[in-house]
Amino acid sequence: MSLPIRNVAIIAHVDHGKTTLVDSLLKQSGIFREGEEIPDCVMDSNTLERERGITILSKNTAVRYNDTLINIVDTPGHADFGGEVERVLGMVDGCILIVDANEGPMPQTRFVLKKALEKGLRPIVVVNKIDRPQAEPDQAVDKVFDLFIELGADDDQCDFTTLYASGLSGFAKDNLEDESEDMKPLFEAILHHVPPPAGDVSKPLQLQVTTLDYSEYLGRIMIGRIHNGTLKAGQQAALMKEDGTIVRGKISKLLGFEGLQRVELEESNAGNIVAVAGFADANIGETLTCPDEPQALPLIKVDEPTLQMTFSVNDSPFAGQEGKFVTSRQIRDRLMRELETNVALRVEPGDSPDQFSVSGRGELHLGILIETMRREGYEFQVAQPQVIYREVNGQPYEPFEYLVLDVPEEAVGSCIERLGQRKGEMQDMQTGVNGRTQLEFVVPARGLLGFRGDFIRITRGEGIMNHSFLEYRPLSGELETRYNGVIIAFEEGTSTFYAMKNAEDRGVFFIIPGTKVYKGMIIGENNRPQDLELNVCKTKQLTNHRAASGEELVQLQAPQEMSLERALEYIGSDELVEVTPESIRLRKMKTKKLAKR
C-alpha cells in the first residue's frame, strides 16, 4: 500500500527565508544522520545561487511525517524567474506563502501569490523572522489579508491559516503567545490544510514534464507529477510532443524523492512527484502517457518576456583571446540548449547570421544566463537591453513595473526627482522606523534600465529596491536615462598611472593602471554630456634627471567597478558589453567623430 501524499510549494518574495525554512523542515524530518555536517541553504545547489544568496531554479525534495510523504518544491522569489514558479505550481495542491515579519508583502510576494491564486491554491501563510527586533507580525498579517482581497481571492482563499515562525531558529507556532521549539505546527498544518492530490489510478497514465535534469549515466531526466494512472520502471510509454507527434519508448529508470536524494522506485501511483529517464528528447510541458490510449494534458503557459538583448559574436580587437567557444554556431547551440529548460526564454535569429535576439523576463533573468555562459567558456558580446512593446487596438503599449524603495529619509527627495525624470508615478509613501521611508511607484520598465546605479549613489548603498512586472500600458513618451558621456580609449595599449592621473579631472574611470585597452573601448564616464577620447597609454618621458622610480607618492581615485549587471544597465544604444570568461569590457559599436584630448 502506498503512503498518503501531500504536494506543496514554498513561495515568497526574494530573501524572505524560503530556503532557510526548508532547511529546518529537512533537519527536523530526520533525513540527516546524527553528527552529519549540514550546510546552510542545502537546496541552493547551483554555484550562482550560493554566491548571490538567491534561489534561481526550482528544486524538489521530500520528507516523511507521520507516515505521510510530503513533496516540497522550493521556488525562486525573484519575478525574473517567474517561469520557474508558474510551471511548478501545476505540480502541487497547496502552497506555503512566506512573508517577512518586518517587511510584510513585497512586489514579488504579489507576483507569486497572484500565480498561486490563479491556480486555485489555498495558501498557508507563514510570518517568518518573528524573532527579529523590528518584527511586526500582526501588521504583516493585515497587509497580507489586504493583498489577498486586492488580488481577487475567493472566500475560501481569504480564510487562510496563519503560522508564525523563524526558519533560522527552527520553530513555528500557531499563535504568537505559544511556546514552540520545532517545526511540528507547520508539518501539522500541511497535513490538515493541503488537500491530498487528485488523480485516478485506474485511468491511463498521464505525467506532465515540468522540470528537466541531466545525468551522465541516465541522460535526460523528466521531473513531473503523475496526474493519472500508474508508472512502473521498465514499462512502455509514449511522449506526446508539443506539435502533437507521439514518440514511443521505455521507462529506463523511475526515481522518487527522499530528502536530498533520489531513490529508485519500482512503481508509483497518481499524485506522486517523480523523476523519469528513458526519453532523450523530452521538453517541458509535454505529456508522458499510455501508448495504447495517448491523452495530452494542457501545455504549460507562462507570461511572455518583457526585455530583449542582442547576443552576437565578439568582433573586438581582443576577440578570441580568452574564450573557448567563440563562433556563432557554438553560441547558437548553447542558446538552443537553454531553451529546453528555461521556459520563459525566447531566442530568434538577429539581423545578421552572427546575431541572436534573446528575450527574457528582466535584466537579472538574462544576466544569469550571460554569467552562466561566460563561466562555461563562451565569449560573445551583448547590446543594450530593450523593452518589448506590444500593439493594443492599434496603439503602442509598453511594460510597466511596480517598484518599492526603502530608503534613508535624506534620500527621499532625490529618489522622487530621479524617478519623476524617468516617468515614474508615486503611489504611496510611508515613514517607517529608524528614519527610513518606503516609497511605492509605477514606472515604465525603460525607466528602470540603469536606475540601480543611480539609486546606489543617491542612497550611499543604504537603499533597498524591489520591483516586479505590473502590466502593459500606453507608451509614456521619450525619456533620458543617462546624462553623462563616456571616456573612450584613443589607441590600443596598456593604461598607465601617469596618463590616468593627468586625466583624472575628466571623469570617473572603470579601469586601473596596467589594464589592456583598445581603440573604441569605454574606460570611464565623462563629467560632461559628450563622449571623450583619451590616450591613457601615454608614458612619462624619462631623462637622466627624471627616473622611472621618481613617481610622486600620489594615488588615483578608486575606479568604478563594472560588474556584469552594472555594465548591462549602463550601456547606451550605440554601445556593447564584451563578455569573456576572464573579462567584462564596454565598447562602442563603431567609431564616430569624438572630442579628443
Q: Which three cell numbers stand for residue 175?
A: 499563535
CB-based contact 364:358 (threshold 8 Å): no
Beta bridge partners of 273: 225
Phi-psi region of 146 (alpha: psi -120 to 50; beta: other; left: phi over 0): alpha
**Cα(568)–Cα(393) distance, integer angstroms:** 33
Binding residues: 15-20, 128-131
**Cα(84)–Cα(70) distance, integer angstroms:** 20
26: nearest Cα among 79, 64, 76, 52:
64
CB-based contact 65:8 (threshold 8 Å): no
CB-based contact 313:362 (threshold 8 Å): no
H-helix or E-strand containing 185?
Answer: helix 184-193
Tell me the helices (H) and strands (E) count for the chain, helix number first: 14, 36
Binding residues for GTP: 15-20, 128-131
7: nearest Cα among 334, 270, 370, 279:
270
What is the DSSP pairing of strand 355-360 with strand 346-349? Answer: antiparallel
What is the DSSP pairing of strand 124-128 with strand 161-166? Answer: parallel
Q: Which three cell numbers stand for residue 428?
A: 504611496
Lookup result for grid cell 523511475: 254
Residue 208's contacts (CB-CB under 8 Å, 6 or more residues apart) are 90, 91, 224, 225, 227, 285, 286, 287, 288, 297, 300
